[in-house]
Amino acid sequence: DSQGGYHRGTLQPFTYIVAIYYLIFGIVYAMGNRSMLSRQVVTSITAFISMTVVAVIVQMINKHLLVECFAASVCMLLIMFTLQSQDDMIDQGTKMLNWSSFVNRCSIKYASASDFTLLLIRIPDFKMFMKTFGGRFSNSLLRSFSDYLYNFVNLGDGFYLEDECFALMFPKDSEKVGETYRAIRKKLSENWNIGTVDTLITACFMRIDCPEDVDNADMLVDFIEQFKHREPETERLLHATDINFYDSKRRSEVENAIDKALDNRGFEVYYQPIYSSSRNKIVSCEALVRLKDEKLGFIPPQEFIPIAEENGKILKIGKYVFEEACRFIKKGVGTSLGIEYVQVNLSVVQCMQSDLVEQLLSIMDRYKVDPSSICLEVTETAAVYTPHIMEKNIKTLSDYGVKFALDDYGTGYSNMTYLLSLPFRFIKLEKEIVWECFKSEKAHIAIESTVAMIKKLNMQIVAEGIEDKHQLDTLLGMGCDFIQGYYFSKPVPEKDFIEVLKKNNTQAVTV
């Protein structure tokens, strides 16, 4: 008014009615979803409500004060600081919503039973781009790809899930999912231009209908992790049901089984004989861990070892297997029947330990086992991840007399560098590679030459996976020094292994 006073019209109480309605609705909704609210969220919402209510009452009593709007602004600021930090929600490279926003959003969708469909897009060649063209190019590529994806969804429905994987969120059964897939596919059939470089991009696609395909947020996270790391399949739009999903329930059951076995000495070590061609008898064996759970039955090492590597339990398992092997050697029955050394697998995670040498030496010392009766099998993955620690560990233990074998030779990482620079006594040809030899003439030639090369480097070859006489003759003919496989025996418990030795080593083995 003319004196600068502040007046309200007759409909003003109506705004309070609306505000009260929202307030009650908000409180009821928040109470209903209380389990999803963090303590920080609860505190800031409570502060927001109380400050607003107090300000409204003060304002109603004293019409000349303008505290209502002031209080609302302060509350908004509080909410922005505590709840909605933009940087926390957005991936800085792609400017899309990030992984944690994605998980949050999906959790809310599941909790409120609102169905949705996801289209996942992954660029499997990204690491190659990174190596070839460098970081700046690769980041521009991710950015331009994410900009392109926003042609198909609203700003809040596009996510960057790290590891070169994107997600677009659609309403359930929207026809737009198929249309988007076809449009991106078409676009990717042409060169993608980044600055001065034109390049083709390949992508893998997966459609997930939620909740039919995956019925909760935790499982969805596991599912996406598996999509990110599986062999890329770029030919078609995969449906979630096409992939063999290793669900989180089974995973946690296996984790429990591992814990239980560690507490109750539930692991067992089996031994598989290794035959020497020059001595014509079994001279060694590989110690292989076994896990049998009351509820789950036999769990194969291929299943539980990777889980134990991820959660660190492999350190305890590895120690247990090593101790068992030492205990077996100390008994002397194996030695009296011709066993000269026992081969024990070392996981990548164990190789990363800086105190590995002390740990193993102290166990050998405790069991009075000579280091030369141990051969440690390591894979090249370990050398790729931690070349320096691994090299130091191998060299020190070798100086003490421990032998080393390069395991799984012929698989993904095979690389000359480690073969030449580390003191490996044995190279173990992986069984898949050995079997390849019987499938193609080319593979046969390649393996024969590999064997010859390794022998020239003064290392000895162990061929794994020998199951029949024909395979045995072929690999012996190529010059392999040692043979391991079902032809001689499957991995068996210690007691049965002694029987295998008695049967084979007390007289010359007939091969």
Least separation in angstroms between CB 471 and ligand C2E: 8
Would you say 106 or 356 has its CB closer to ligand C2E? 356
Residue 44 CB contacts under 8 Å (≥ 6 apart), including other chains: 78, 79, 82, 83
Would you say 344 or 447 has its CB closer to Ca ion? 344
Would you say 219 or 291 has its CB closer to ligand C2E? 291
From 464, 480, 504, 505, residue interacting with ligand C2E (rule: CB under 6 A): 464
Q: How far apart are CA 187 and CA 193, in angstroms?
A: 11
Report the candidate in 257, 371, 265 with the shortest Cα–Cα distance to residue 320: 265
Least separation in angstroms between CB 348 and Ca ion: 13
Would you say 211 or 465 has its CB closer to Ca ion? 465
428 within 8 A of 464, measured Cβ to Cβ: yes
Would you say 180 or 350 has its CB closer to Ca ion? 350
- DSSP 8-class letter at 25: H
What is the pattern of x (binds ligand C2E, CB under 6 A) and - over residues 272-311?
A: x---------------xx----------xxx--x------
Least separation in angstroms between CB 323 and ligand C2E: 11
Report the candidate in 140, 169, 141 with the shortest Cα–Cα distance to residue 153: 169
Give Dmax over CA atoms of the chain in angstroms. Answer: 119
Q: How far apart are CA 303 and CA 281, in angstroms?
A: 33
Would you say 164 or 407 has its CB closer to Ca ion? 407
Among the residue ranges 106-114, 241-249, 332-340, 479-487, the one whose residues contact ligand C2E (CB under 6 A):
479-487
What is the pattern of x (binds ligand C2E, CB under 6 A) and - over residues 327-356?
A: ------------------x-x---------
Least separation in angstroms between CB 269 and ligand C2E: 7
Total count of residues recorded for the chain: 511
From 165, 258, 466, 500, residue interacting with ligand C2E (rule: CB under 6 A): 466
State which amino acid sits at residue 437.
C
Would you say 117 or 484 has its CB closer to ligand C2E? 484
- The phi, psi pair for 396, rounded to 5°, reads -65, -50
Q: How far apart are CA 437 and CA 449, in angstroms?
A: 12
What are the contacts of 79-86 at 24+ separation with CB within 8 A? 79/44, 79/48, 82/40, 82/41, 82/43, 82/44, 83/40, 83/41, 83/44
* Binding flag, residue 380, Ca ion (CB under 5 A): no
* Binding flag, residue 377, Ca ion (CB under 5 A): yes
Q: By 3-state DSSP, what share of the chain in percent is helix, strand and coil, each rounded to 5?
A: 55, 20, 30
What residues between 402 and 461 interact with Ca ion by CB under 5 A?
407
Residues engaged in binding Ca ion (CB under 5 A): 345, 377, 407
Task: Give the residues lining the site for ligand C2E (CB under 6 A).
Answer: 272, 288-289, 300-302, 305, 318, 321, 345, 347, 407-408, 431, 464-467, 484-486, 491
